[in-house]
Each structure stands twice: as structure tokens, then as C-alpha cells.
Amino acid sequence: MAIRNVVKMGDPVLNKKAKKVVDFNEKLHTLLDDMADTMYNEDGVGLAAPQVGILRRAVVVDIGTGLIELINPQIIAQEGEQTDVEGCLSVVDYVAEVTRPNYVKVKAQDRNGKDFEIEGEGLMARAFCHELDHLEGILFVERVEKGDK
């Protein structure tokens, strides 16, 4: 396990779509372990593989309730709406309000390739949406609502 460098906004890797994980092997396990270590070291609540320069569909999240690893995640249901302040480990010294679903259900695989579903509300839903955006090459700054409504 190791701390990896977090890629910062402006690096083109953050704007690329991540590729599906097909090999559930030791290399993936090391990546997930390193991503968790990096997230905790940076005091984040989530980290996506593109944020450490790896274009694979892998995400780690921990909002304080325990580590969740999502491989090849997809949002399969969402409800409601919430607006709150977000920041990002790849976007230094900037936070802004973003509107996200208040509830999401995510279908994913674990580190061994087993399918599962997980639900999240409030901050968990926000974290899932934020990290899954990274897999599509989208930074939260692209979702910030402009002040002139």
C-alpha cells in the first residue's frame, strides 16, 4: 500500500472516460488499497482511479461509515434533489454548491468481480455521484450552478 499523487485539474487524464475493469487481479487490489490510503491521507471522502492517473472504472468512498469499493459502477436509480457545497481532491482551494440526487442506487462489482448493489442517501449519494462523474471525465466544477438564474 502506498500514497499516490493526486492528479490536479488541468491534467487531461481528468477529462477522459475511464475504461471498464476486466481483470480482477492483484494489480487491481493494489490500486484499490493505494486509492484508499491516498483518500484517507488527503482527508477526502472519495477518490476515483482517474484522480491517480489510472483510466479504469474504480472508485473508493468513505463518508465515515466504512470503506466502499466500487468497480464498474453504474447508477441504476435516483430520486429527489439536494444542493450542497462540494470540493474535490483534484481541484485545489475551490468549493461550490452543486445539485445532486438525494438518493441513488448503484450497481457495481467488488474487488473480486462479484456483482452487488448499494444505496446511498444525502452525503453518500453525493459522494457516489461525484466519483462516478470522474469516471466519465467530468469534474464537479462543470456541475456548479451559475449564479444568474
The answer to whether 29 is a known ligand-binding residue is no
Partners of 84 in beta bridges: 98
Q: What is the CA radius of gyration of the chain?
A: 14
List the catalytic residues: 131
**Annotation-wise, does 88 bind a ligand?**
yes
Q: How far is CA 131 from the centre of its chain?
A: 2
Q: Contact, 118 vs 68, CB < 8 A?
A: yes
- At 36, the amino acid letter reads A
Question: Is the distance from CB of 99 to CB of 55 less than 8 angstroms?
Answer: no
Q: Residue ranges for the binding site for Fe cation?
A: 88, 130, 134
